[in-house]
Amino acid sequence: MNRDVIKEQTVDRLQVRVFRTRQEMGENAGEDAANRMRELLRIKPTIRMVFAAAPSQHEFLQVLADSEGIDWSRVEVFHMDEYLGLPEHSTERFGHFLTKHLFEKVRPGKVHLIDGSASSVREECERYAGLLSAAEIDIVCLGIGENGHLAFNDPPADFDESALIKRVELDEACRRQQVNDGCFPSLDEVPTHALSLTIPALMSGASLLCIVPGPRKRAAVARTLTGEIAEDCPATALRRHPSCILYVDEDSYGVGDGNGEYTNGDGEDSYGVGEEQSHGVIE
């Protein structure tokens, strides 16, 4: 059992780990990612990783950046989405976010950023897809959106998409989340389109670590764990992956009703699937 875990559950193939606080959640996810990187670098000359760019990833990225014993010169990194139409040096670009919070600190051997200002979207998708498909993706570090999206695959998402990256139109719930997160001052300033890795591209990673804190994510987490695996909640696809861990805090997971059972906040048990193990903190 990881330190600070207050509850564990398996839903289909998805491992769920609950932490009391966002900080504990991020620290444990970061430590797990660092440990996995060290293990892989002992047996592989290089490893390839995909990262999400969002405020929900702050604690995780900080711990990963501070982790020792990782030869980042042997790490090739990607990110999973980028806005279209923002100026090249805009601080709202996801490439800028990851460069600031991780890449410039650890100096990976290769950094592949999506060019959201490319003159040809089709050619940029072909370029990035070629880089992604050149070898196995070892680790994908991602989150879940308020509307249940993965990357910018808003519902309904195509679980069988043939492309690895594509142009998408962002729905209003997705764009409003960017305002909620403090990334843009108003909805009108949030871009309407982006490039995003597809669900199959994300699911192709050998290991997935999904970090989802905060009360605004509670409905999406509940739907991910309790509903049908369906394209109207893209995050439910995680339950099919053979090696995915979902890290949540009490705010995103739900509350205890006094007996350690998960509830959706109104006293009703929201689960009934998978195996559950409580560590005696919520009781």
Q: H or E element: which one contains 131?
A: helix 121-132
Given a contact cutoff of 8 angstroms between Cβ atoms, the answer to whether 281 and 249 are in contact is no
* pLDDT tens figures, 125-167: 999 999 999 999 999 999 999 999 999 999 999 999 999 999 9
Mean confidence (pLDDT) of the chain: 89
Q: Which pLDDT belongs to residue 2?
A: 61
DSSP class per residue in 210-221: EEE-SGGGHHHH
* pLDDT > 70? residue 269: no
DSSP reduced 3-state for 37? helix
pTM tops 0.75: yes
Across 44-56, average pLDDT: 96
Q: Which pLDDT belongs to residue 174?
A: 85
* pLDDT tens figures, 87-130: 888 888 999 999 999 999 999 999 999 999 999 999 999 999 99
Q: Long-range contacts made by residues 169-172, C-beta under 8 angstroms, separation at least 24?
A: 169/193, 170/194, 171/147
Return the exposure string of 181-198: e unless at least 16 CB atoms fall within 10 Å of the residue's CB, then b: eebbeeeeebbeebbbbb
- List, in order of start, the domains of the chain with CATH numbers: 5-276 (3.40.50.1360)
- Which residue in the block uniquely carries the two structure tokens 């990851």? 98
Reading the block at residue 95, the tokens are 């490439």
The pairing of strands 47-51 and 81-83 is unpaired
Q: Which pLDDT belongs to residue 19?
A: 97
- Which residue in the block uniquely carries the two structure tokens 């890795």? 197
